Amino acid sequence: MRKKIVAANWKMNKIAAEARSYIESLLVELGEATDVEVVLIPPFTLLPLCSQMLGESPSVRLGAQNMHPAKSGAFTGEISASMLRDLYARYVVVGHSERRQLFGESDGFVGEKVRAAHDASLRPILCVGETLGERTAGHVEQVIDRQLGAGLHGVDAKEMGETVIAYEPIWAIGTGHNATPEQAQAVHAHIREVIASLYAAPVAERVRIQYGGSVKPDNAAELLRQPDIDGALVGGASLDPRSFAAIVHAAREAKG
Ligand code: PGA
Protein backbone atom coordinates (compact mmCIF):
# COMPACT_ATOMS: atom_id res chain seq x y z
CA MET A 1 0.00 0.00 0.00
CA ARG A 2 1.48 3.34 -1.04
CA LYS A 3 1.00 6.20 1.41
CA LYS A 4 -0.52 9.16 -0.39
CA ILE A 5 1.64 12.29 -0.65
CA VAL A 6 0.10 15.73 -1.08
CA ALA A 7 2.40 18.70 -1.60
CA ALA A 8 1.86 22.47 -1.56
CA ASN A 9 4.08 24.21 -4.10
CA TRP A 10 3.88 27.88 -3.18
CA LYS A 11 6.05 28.87 -6.15
CA MET A 12 7.19 32.53 -5.85
CA ASN A 13 4.56 33.53 -3.29
CA LYS A 14 4.38 34.61 0.37
CA ILE A 15 6.54 36.50 2.83
CA ALA A 16 7.21 35.62 6.46
CA ALA A 17 4.05 37.05 8.04
CA GLU A 18 1.88 35.23 5.50
CA ALA A 19 3.73 31.96 6.01
CA ARG A 20 3.29 32.24 9.77
CA SER A 21 -0.48 32.61 9.67
CA TYR A 22 -0.75 29.96 6.94
CA ILE A 23 1.09 27.34 9.00
CA GLU A 24 -0.90 28.16 12.14
CA SER A 25 -4.16 27.53 10.27
CA LEU A 26 -2.85 24.52 8.37
CA LEU A 27 -1.76 22.70 11.52
CA VAL A 28 -5.21 23.24 13.04
CA GLU A 29 -6.97 22.07 9.87
CA LEU A 30 -4.82 18.95 9.53
CA GLY A 31 -4.83 17.80 13.15
CA GLU A 32 -2.54 14.99 14.20
CA ALA A 33 -3.36 12.39 11.56
CA THR A 34 -0.37 10.95 9.73
CA ASP A 35 -2.13 8.71 7.21
CA VAL A 36 -1.27 11.07 4.34
CA GLU A 37 2.20 12.55 3.90
CA VAL A 38 1.91 16.33 3.57
CA VAL A 39 4.81 18.32 2.11
CA LEU A 40 5.08 22.09 2.32
CA ILE A 41 7.23 23.57 -0.46
CA PRO A 42 7.80 27.28 0.21
CA PRO A 43 10.32 29.53 -1.55
CA PHE A 44 13.90 29.09 -0.24
CA THR A 45 13.64 32.25 1.84
CA LEU A 46 10.91 30.76 4.04
CA LEU A 47 12.48 27.35 4.69
CA PRO A 48 14.02 28.30 8.06
CA LEU A 49 10.80 29.88 9.33
CA CYS A 50 8.69 26.95 8.12
CA SER A 51 10.97 24.33 9.64
CA GLN A 52 10.99 26.21 12.93
CA MET A 53 7.19 26.44 12.95
CA LEU A 54 6.60 22.87 11.88
CA GLY A 55 9.04 21.70 14.54
CA GLU A 56 8.38 18.09 15.35
CA SER A 57 5.02 18.09 13.56
CA PRO A 58 4.49 14.44 12.67
CA SER A 59 2.33 15.12 9.66
CA VAL A 60 4.04 17.86 7.61
CA ARG A 61 7.41 17.61 5.90
CA LEU A 62 9.37 20.32 4.19
CA GLY A 63 10.47 20.49 0.57
CA ALA A 64 12.27 22.94 -1.72
CA GLN A 65 11.29 24.04 -5.21
CA ASN A 66 14.62 23.62 -6.96
CA MET A 67 18.35 23.02 -6.43
CA HIS A 68 21.62 23.06 -8.34
CA PRO A 69 23.33 19.70 -8.96
CA ALA A 70 26.84 20.85 -7.94
CA LYS A 71 27.93 20.35 -4.33
CA SER A 72 29.26 23.91 -4.04
CA GLY A 73 31.14 26.48 -6.06
CA ALA A 74 30.83 29.53 -8.27
CA PHE A 75 27.13 29.37 -9.16
CA THR A 76 25.83 32.78 -8.19
CA GLY A 77 22.22 32.68 -7.09
CA GLU A 78 22.01 28.90 -6.80
CA ILE A 79 21.33 26.58 -3.85
CA SER A 80 22.82 23.11 -3.32
CA ALA A 81 21.23 19.94 -2.00
CA SER A 82 23.29 20.00 1.20
CA MET A 83 22.16 23.59 1.88
CA LEU A 84 18.57 22.35 1.67
CA ARG A 85 19.29 19.43 3.99
CA ASP A 86 20.83 21.91 6.38
CA LEU A 87 17.43 23.65 6.54
CA TYR A 88 15.64 20.34 7.22
CA ALA A 89 14.15 19.92 3.76
CA ARG A 90 13.37 16.26 3.00
CA TYR A 91 12.10 16.70 -0.55
CA VAL A 92 13.07 18.78 -3.55
CA VAL A 93 11.06 19.45 -6.71
CA VAL A 94 13.16 18.79 -9.77
CA GLY A 95 12.33 19.51 -13.40
CA HIS A 96 9.15 21.49 -12.84
CA SER A 97 7.83 22.58 -16.24
CA GLU A 98 8.30 26.23 -15.26
CA ARG A 99 12.02 25.52 -14.78
CA ARG A 100 12.18 23.58 -18.03
CA GLN A 101 10.25 26.15 -20.09
CA LEU A 102 11.14 29.51 -18.53
CA PHE A 103 14.71 28.73 -17.48
CA GLY A 104 15.72 26.35 -20.24
CA GLU A 105 16.48 23.30 -18.08
CA SER A 106 17.25 20.27 -20.22
CA ASP A 107 16.32 16.65 -19.49
CA GLY A 108 20.00 15.94 -18.82
CA PHE A 109 20.39 18.79 -16.34
CA VAL A 110 17.24 17.62 -14.54
CA GLY A 111 18.76 14.14 -14.33
CA GLU A 112 21.91 15.57 -12.74
CA LYS A 113 19.75 17.20 -10.07
CA VAL A 114 17.93 13.96 -9.30
CA ARG A 115 21.30 12.22 -8.89
CA ALA A 116 22.67 15.01 -6.69
CA ALA A 117 19.52 15.05 -4.55
CA HIS A 118 19.91 11.34 -3.76
CA ASP A 119 23.61 11.83 -3.03
CA ALA A 120 22.57 14.31 -0.32
CA SER A 121 19.73 12.08 0.99
CA LEU A 122 17.07 14.44 -0.31
CA ARG A 123 14.08 12.83 -1.98
CA PRO A 124 13.47 14.25 -5.44
CA ILE A 125 9.98 14.91 -6.77
CA LEU A 126 10.70 14.53 -10.49
CA CYS A 127 8.15 16.39 -12.62
CA VAL A 128 7.27 15.17 -16.09
CA GLY A 129 4.52 16.16 -18.49
CA GLU A 130 3.64 17.11 -22.02
CA THR A 131 2.55 20.34 -23.70
CA LEU A 132 -0.86 20.61 -25.35
CA GLY A 133 0.80 20.41 -28.77
CA GLU A 134 2.57 17.18 -27.82
CA ARG A 135 -0.71 15.69 -26.56
CA THR A 136 -2.59 16.71 -29.69
CA ALA A 137 0.16 15.18 -31.82
CA GLY A 138 -0.17 11.88 -29.91
CA HIS A 139 3.31 12.13 -28.37
CA VAL A 140 2.47 11.91 -24.68
CA GLU A 141 4.18 8.57 -24.01
CA GLN A 142 7.20 9.51 -26.07
CA VAL A 143 7.71 12.72 -24.05
CA ILE A 144 7.20 10.95 -20.72
CA ASP A 145 9.60 8.14 -21.68
CA ARG A 146 12.29 10.65 -22.66
CA GLN A 147 11.90 12.69 -19.47
CA LEU A 148 11.91 9.59 -17.26
CA GLY A 149 14.86 8.02 -19.05
CA ALA A 150 17.05 11.11 -18.64
CA GLY A 151 15.66 12.09 -15.24
CA LEU A 152 16.33 8.69 -13.69
CA HIS A 153 19.74 8.16 -15.27
CA GLY A 154 22.09 6.62 -12.70
CA VAL A 155 19.36 6.14 -10.07
CA ASP A 156 19.49 2.67 -8.50
CA ALA A 157 16.49 0.58 -7.43
CA LYS A 158 16.63 1.61 -3.78
CA GLU A 159 16.82 5.30 -4.72
CA MET A 160 13.99 4.80 -7.21
CA GLY A 161 11.76 3.62 -4.37
CA GLU A 162 12.46 6.93 -2.63
CA THR A 163 11.85 9.06 -5.71
CA VAL A 164 8.45 10.63 -6.23
CA ILE A 165 7.25 11.23 -9.78
CA ALA A 166 4.83 14.09 -10.46
CA TYR A 167 2.85 13.88 -13.67
CA GLU A 168 2.01 17.47 -14.56
CA PRO A 169 0.55 18.02 -18.01
CA ILE A 170 1.69 21.53 -18.87
CA TRP A 171 -1.68 22.48 -20.36
CA ALA A 172 -3.28 21.80 -16.98
CA ILE A 173 -0.91 23.88 -14.84
CA GLY A 174 -2.46 27.08 -13.57
CA THR A 175 -5.13 26.98 -16.26
CA GLY A 176 -8.13 25.70 -14.29
CA HIS A 177 -8.36 22.81 -16.77
CA ASN A 178 -7.25 19.69 -14.94
CA ALA A 179 -6.66 16.43 -16.77
CA THR A 180 -9.70 14.19 -16.38
CA PRO A 181 -9.21 11.33 -13.90
CA GLU A 182 -9.17 8.93 -16.89
CA GLN A 183 -6.53 10.94 -18.77
CA ALA A 184 -4.35 11.20 -15.68
CA GLN A 185 -4.78 7.53 -14.70
CA ALA A 186 -3.74 6.41 -18.19
CA VAL A 187 -0.46 8.34 -18.01
CA HIS A 188 0.19 7.30 -14.40
CA ALA A 189 -0.25 3.63 -15.35
CA HIS A 190 2.17 4.17 -18.22
CA ILE A 191 4.73 5.79 -15.90
CA ARG A 192 4.50 2.80 -13.57
CA GLU A 193 5.06 0.43 -16.52
CA VAL A 194 8.14 2.39 -17.59
CA ILE A 195 9.55 2.19 -14.06
CA ALA A 196 8.81 -1.56 -13.98
CA SER A 197 10.71 -2.02 -17.23
CA LEU A 198 13.66 0.15 -16.10
CA TYR A 199 13.82 -1.51 -12.66
CA ALA A 200 11.41 -4.27 -11.62
CA ALA A 201 7.69 -4.60 -10.92
CA PRO A 202 8.04 -4.53 -7.10
CA VAL A 203 10.05 -1.28 -7.35
CA ALA A 204 7.38 0.27 -9.58
CA GLU A 205 4.69 -0.79 -7.10
CA ARG A 206 6.46 1.18 -4.37
CA VAL A 207 6.93 4.43 -6.29
CA ARG A 208 4.45 7.19 -5.59
CA ILE A 209 3.18 9.13 -8.58
CA GLN A 210 1.52 12.47 -7.92
CA TYR A 211 -0.78 14.28 -10.29
CA GLY A 212 -0.39 18.06 -10.66
CA GLY A 213 -2.26 20.63 -12.73
CA SER A 214 -5.25 22.61 -11.45
CA VAL A 215 -5.95 20.27 -8.52
CA LYS A 216 -8.64 21.86 -6.33
CA PRO A 217 -10.82 20.76 -3.43
CA ASP A 218 -13.67 19.93 -5.80
CA ASN A 219 -11.74 17.73 -8.24
CA ALA A 220 -9.18 16.16 -5.87
CA ALA A 221 -11.27 13.24 -4.61
CA GLU A 222 -12.03 11.85 -8.03
CA LEU A 223 -8.42 12.17 -9.20
CA LEU A 224 -7.06 10.64 -5.99
CA ARG A 225 -9.37 7.64 -6.23
CA GLN A 226 -7.61 6.43 -9.39
CA PRO A 227 -5.51 3.34 -8.69
CA ASP A 228 -2.19 4.82 -9.89
CA ILE A 229 -2.65 8.36 -8.55
CA ASP A 230 -0.83 8.43 -5.23
CA GLY A 231 -1.07 12.09 -4.38
CA ALA A 232 -1.14 15.62 -5.69
CA LEU A 233 1.31 18.43 -6.34
CA VAL A 234 -0.79 21.54 -5.83
CA GLY A 235 0.09 25.06 -6.92
CA GLY A 236 -2.64 27.72 -6.90
CA ALA A 237 -5.02 25.91 -4.56
CA SER A 238 -2.23 25.35 -2.02
CA LEU A 239 -1.88 29.08 -1.30
CA ASP A 240 -4.89 29.04 0.99
CA PRO A 241 -4.50 26.71 3.99
CA ARG A 242 -8.17 25.72 4.05
CA SER A 243 -8.31 24.79 0.41
CA PHE A 244 -5.01 22.89 0.68
CA ALA A 245 -6.24 21.05 3.78
CA ALA A 246 -9.43 20.12 1.92
CA ILE A 247 -7.28 18.43 -0.73
CA VAL A 248 -5.36 16.55 2.00
CA HIS A 249 -8.69 15.42 3.45
CA ALA A 250 -9.76 14.19 0.01
CA ALA A 251 -6.55 12.12 -0.11
CA ARG A 252 -7.38 10.66 3.30
CA GLU A 253 -10.81 9.58 2.12
CA ALA A 254 -9.41 8.17 -1.10
CA LYS A 255 -6.77 5.97 0.49
CA GLY A 256 -7.25 2.23 0.56
P1 PGA B 1 -1.46 24.50 -10.26
O2 PGA B 1 0.10 24.20 -10.30
O3 PGA B 1 -2.06 23.64 -9.16
O4 PGA B 1 -1.56 25.97 -9.97
O5 PGA B 1 -2.01 24.12 -11.60
C6 PGA B 1 0.60 22.91 -10.14
C7 PGA B 1 2.11 22.92 -10.20
O8 PGA B 1 2.67 23.67 -11.01
O9 PGA B 1 2.79 22.18 -9.45
Phi, psi of 166 (to 5 degrees): -115, 115
Q: Where are the domains of the chain?
A: 5-254
List residues near ligand 1 (CB under 6 A). Answer: 9, 168, 173-174, 212-215, 233-237
Is pLDDT at 255 greater than 70 in this prediction? no
Contacts of 196 (CB under 8 A, 6+ apart): 203, 204
* Percentage of the residues of the chain whose pLDDT score is greater than 70: 99
Q: What CATH architecture does domain 5-254 belong to?
A: Alpha-Beta Barrel (3.20)
Question: What Rg do the C-alpha atoms of the chain give, in angstroms?
Answer: 17
Which residue has a Cα nearest atom 6 of ligand 1?
Answer: 235
Are the C-beta atoms of 99 and 113 separated by less than 8 Å?
no
Is pLDDT at 142 greater than 90 in this prediction? yes
Reported as a single tens digit per residue, the pLDDT across 6-41 is: 999 999 999 999 999 999 999 999 988 889 999 999
Reported as a single tens digit per residue, the pLDDT across 178-208 is: 999 999 999 999 999 999 999 999 999 999 9
Confidence grade of residue 56 (pLDDT, cut at 50, 70, 90): confident
Q: Which of 167, 214, 224 to mutate to test the pocket of ligand 1 (most atoms within 8 A of CB)?
A: 214
Contacts of 180 (CB under 8 A, 6+ apart): none
Reported as a single tens digit per residue, the pLDDT across 209-241 is: 999 999 999 999 999 999 999 999 999 999 999
> Could you give the residue numbers annotated as active site?
96, 168
Cα(152)–Cα(77) distance, integer angstroms:
26
Distance (Å) from CA 221 to ligand 1 centroid: 17
